[in-house]
Amino acid sequence: MRLLFLGPPGAGKGTQAQGVAERLQVAHVSTGDMFRALDPSTDLGRRVTAVMEAGEYVADAIVIEMLEARLAVPDAARGFILDGFPRTLPQAHALEAFLGEAGLDRVVLFEVDEDELVDRMMARGRADDTADTIRTRLQVYRDQTEPLIDFYRSILAPVEAVGGIDEVTERVLEVLEPVAR
């Protein structure tokens, strides 16, 4: 099963992707986690960290190269949940070319209202979660990532991402039922 978890920063995609990937026995592929794991003493690590801390997006070419290398690892062959990639239309096109005809099975869209998102990001206190970068990240999401909702319209499964973690997981599994075998 090939899934994408899509939604604004702070919507809980990462937590849900981790849990659901375990339940379905597929790989959890998070570009954000991959970037955070880069060695900060390398040139690439320094550049990526600066971009993340500003709340901007890492350049498509870098993200795409990293993601394709990750999907080539054998554990991804039995399925995966993409968490945080693609985030731009060029990334979505690159993914489509990479996956070929079979493509993605479902795109789960995490829906949360904006005030709730800001509260959640302020509360988790990550290095890239300051008031200014939160505003920037939401704006960048609206400009660059929201167009993907339309791009994936035919396989989109919206989920109300409010409430307890388990409650949201149940909703996600429910919308995946037609494809989760």
Which residues of this chain interact with ligand AMP, rule CB under 6 A?
Answer: 9, 31-32, 35, 51-52, 57-58, 63, 84-87, 91, 128, 137
Residue nearest to ligand AMP (CB): 32
Smallest distance from ligand AMP to CB 178, Å:
26
Q: Which is nearer to ligand AMP, 114 or 174 (CB)?
A: 114
Smallest distance from ligand AMP to CB 63, Å:
4
**Contacts of 137-142 spanning 24+ positions with Cβ under 8 A:** 137/9, 137/55, 138/8, 138/9, 138/114, 140/55, 140/56, 140/57, 141/8, 141/9, 141/87
Q: Which is nearer to ligand AMP, 11 or 159 (CB)?
A: 11
Output the CA–CA distances (angstroms, integers) from residue 78 to 2, 110, 133, 171, in the order listed: 9, 24, 36, 23
Are 2 and 105 contacting, i.e. CB atoms less than 8 angstroms apart?
yes
Q: Which is nearer to ligand AMP, 65 or 174 (CB)?
A: 65
| CA-based nearest residue to 28, from 80, 68, 73 | 80
Smallest distance from ligand AMP to CB 28, Å:
12
Smallest distance from ligand AMP to CB 32, Å:
2
Q: Which is nearer to ligand AMP, 35 or 80 (CB)?
A: 35
